[in-house]
Structure 1
């Protein structure tokens, strides 16, 4: 995910005890007693902390909430007139970008920069499953030992060392992808929508003007971009036509960045070497989608965001932000609501 200059990075220090509403979600399935105690200490003396099992259960409590930790659909936002700050339990925040929220003064923070490690792990798992034909072997089972299948796998396996990975979007996920690519002996080039510093084996990071050249010169093209109006369906027929023969598309961020029919055509016509995807253009991906039928397309059902550390990392950031709020300091992980990341 890219890093831009955010809007307001702080909320005025409260003049009364905080009222905090916490809604459990897929990435925050539970709050242990120890974690609840940690939140209460961070929220300050006399703070009110309510924890509910799902966002819908938070509606009766939202009227007095100053802060919400979780996911806030518009119907919950509309029920919270005193709301000053939301801390999202999600890395992508496109679900928050409805007009009422965008036009408000409510600050949004979240997991920005915290999820890159496990997303990159998953991305390389998918990439290896594709280029080393691991997914094919698992699907074949005992039949994989048949000489025809075995030889076909051996003759088509690729080695990552010496290949070039192009990273589109050089934020947390992009940097972790680059770090792993370098460890595999790959060359890495990167671009971002905004000026960012190079790191993790990347000597320089190009701007939007570098997009076409990176697409045209990468053996593996890794998408690390957020979903915005500008990136939605950006991988269309024209973009796939720029990719070199045999190049692989790798995406573990947002599926809607890829135009589904264009990807299907690129695979069917062998315009690209394959696709390794944790996210799909439409989710859940229908059972009759042509993507299921391609041997050179490996997919997982949007599970890359899982980690045994994820919820705790975000809770710790939330607690640091609660203390910063009370002390009138800037918050961590602020999202620019106008750019969407």
Structure 2
């Protein structure tokens, strides 16, 4: 345990927060030396304030982080931290914390909503409703049950475990892939590839890091059977997107639910928009009513730990 802070820290806030959540931060930081910047419109004066800060709340620009010599702790407003993996010259004493565990329920529910939507034909019925076209016969003959399906969950962290619980509630036969996490049945690409050959459902919950980038490659995707539905609520960089698009357009698999993509926002001309039986959820998977207040409260609680010299929650490492 470190010693409590005797000199009040300079605090830089750039997290995107709704007004109510920002009010919580203002209230907690009353009397502190702090500065609030607009994350989406960074200015030179904001950068100057950041470079003087001891503490930051929000996902600052990576090149700003590389220039900082005074920052001691950065609280991310996300679970993902791949934007900083290539940063050079960071102080070995810099602590970075994320929001691991905060989005497991909404992300898993988004995946389930998409899966059920495809299995039960909602992707066809909703457009038919807009067209006022009764589609009973053409939809009903192709409906499927999620119940009892064979499922592979990629990742056995908080989101992967939550996803597994939801699938098991539908009495699915679930196997999880993770290299080291206890409780996962699949440990390497061979066992993963073998499991994919009979999967009805594959849900990617993996983060983007040096060991997962491009992991779900063309060869592994080719192992999927025609009835498989592929879901990605992890990170777009984990999957060979062009290969997935080719399989969807060729009706090689039954469909996909895609929350995250390699390029975000997804441009209008991107081929994913036109893929058949594909639900795009626009990286909204982690959203829920209390999301922004929860982020603010998490930072405030961690700030108290920091000031008291206590261990911070959810420290991450940028090392390979």
> 1:141: how far off?
2.3
- For normalisation by structure 2, the TM-score amounts to 0.89
Q: Take 1:288 and 1:300, find their aligned partners in 2: how far apart are those partners?
A: 17
Q: Take 2:180 and 2:58, find their aligned partners in 1: how far apart are those partners?
A: 28
**Segments of 4+ in structure 1 off by > 6 A?**
none
Q: Is the 8 A contact 1:94 1:228 kept in 2?
A: yes
- Correspondence 1:272 to 2:258: no
Q: Aligned residue for 2:37? A: 52
Q: Aligned residue for 1:194? A: 180
Q: Give 1:24-39 correspondences, 5 Å limit.
A: 24-25=15-16, 28-30=17-19, 31-39=21-29
Closer, same or farther: CA 213–278 of 1 in aligned 2, 3 Å: same
- Correspondence 1:222 to 2:203: yes
- Correspondence 1:332 to 2:313: yes
Name which structure has the greater RCO, CA cutoff 8 Å, separation 6+: 1
Q: Give 1:75-224 correspondences, 5 Å limit.
A: 75-100=63-88, 104-141=92-129, 143=131, 145-146=133-134, 149-196=135-182, 198=183, 204-208=184-188, 210-224=191-205
Q: Take 1:11 and 1:97, find their aligned partners in 2: how far apart are those partners?
A: 26
Q: Is the 8 A contact 1:173 1:224 kept in 2?
A: yes
> 1:164: how far off?
2.0
> 1:288: how far off?
3.1
Instruction: Name which of structure 1's ranges 159-168 and 316-325 shifts more when overlaid on structure 2.
Output: 316-325
**Cα deviations across residues 200-230 of structure 1 (Å, max 9, x unaligned)?**
xxxx544235422332332110001001233
**Cα deviations across residues 166-209 of structure 1 (Å, max 9, x unaligned)?**
1111111111211211222322211213233x4xxxxx544235
Q: Give 1:279-290 correspondences, 5 Å limit.
A: 279-290=260-271
**Cα deviations across residues 224-247 of structure 1 (Å, max 9, x unaligned)?**
100123322322220112122311
> 1:334: how far off?
1.2
**Cα deviations across residues 69-108 of structure 1 (Å, max 9, x unaligned)?**
0011133324532101110011211112232265643111
Instruction: Name which of structure 1's ranges 168-177 and 58-67 shifts more when overlaid on structure 2.
Output: 58-67
Q: Take 1:247 and 1:188, find their aligned partners in 2: how far apart are those partners?
A: 14
Please give the root-mean-square deviation of Cα atoms over the aligned residues, in Å. Answer: 2.4
Q: Is the 8 A contact 1:68 1:86 kept in 2?
A: yes
Q: Take 1:178 and 1:69, find their aligned partners in 2: how far apart are those partners?
A: 32
Unaligned runs of 5+ in 1: 1-9, 41-45, 199-203
Aligned length: 315
- Of 234, 257, 265, which residue of structure 2 is paired with 1:253? 234
- For normalisation by structure 1, the TM-score amounts to 0.84
SS at match of 1:232: coil
